[in-house]
Amino acid sequence: MRLFVRIGDLYVMEPMGELFGQINPTGRDPKLVARELGELQKAMGWLEAYLTGDDYAVGSSLTLADCELVPVLFFFDQIGPMFGSVNPLQQFPKAGAYYKGIANEPAAAKVLAELDIALRRMMAG
């Protein structure tokens, strides 16, 4: 569990935080975007190496690892198209399978719906 939380916090969310500041194409720094997209791909590769593609990150029920990964993968999936990657999880099949499976968990589905609403509001305003 701790490994997933650390990778998510330190290595996936860090470059995504930088990329969120670059969403508007008119003010983008292409060098910063390229660097952070590279870091993000590397971090997602680490997640891919440890995920099994099962419905839960660890074991057969929700854990803190899932609490971490649900929002992390939501934002990864949503930010990809903003930078030209139509289906960012396609190149990470185990992460994609996990994300699809965990979305069937009622608690995760609720979080995903709330994140979707919040992101849409942010993008609209």
Q: Which amino acid is at 43?
A: A
Q: What is the CATH number of domain 2-124?
A: 1.20.1050.10
- Whether the pLDDT of residue 122 is over 90: the answer is no
Model confidence at 116, pLDDT cuts 50, 70, 90, reads very high
Mean pLDDT of the 50-55 span: 94
Q: What is the pTM of this model?
A: 0.92
Rounded CA-CA distance 31/45 in Å is 21
Q: In the structure, how many helices (H) and strands (E) does the chain have?
A: 6, 0
More confident residue, 27 or 102: 102
C-alpha to C-alpha distance for 73 and 54, rounded to whole angstroms: 15
Domain positions in the chain? 2-124
Mean pLDDT of the chain: 94
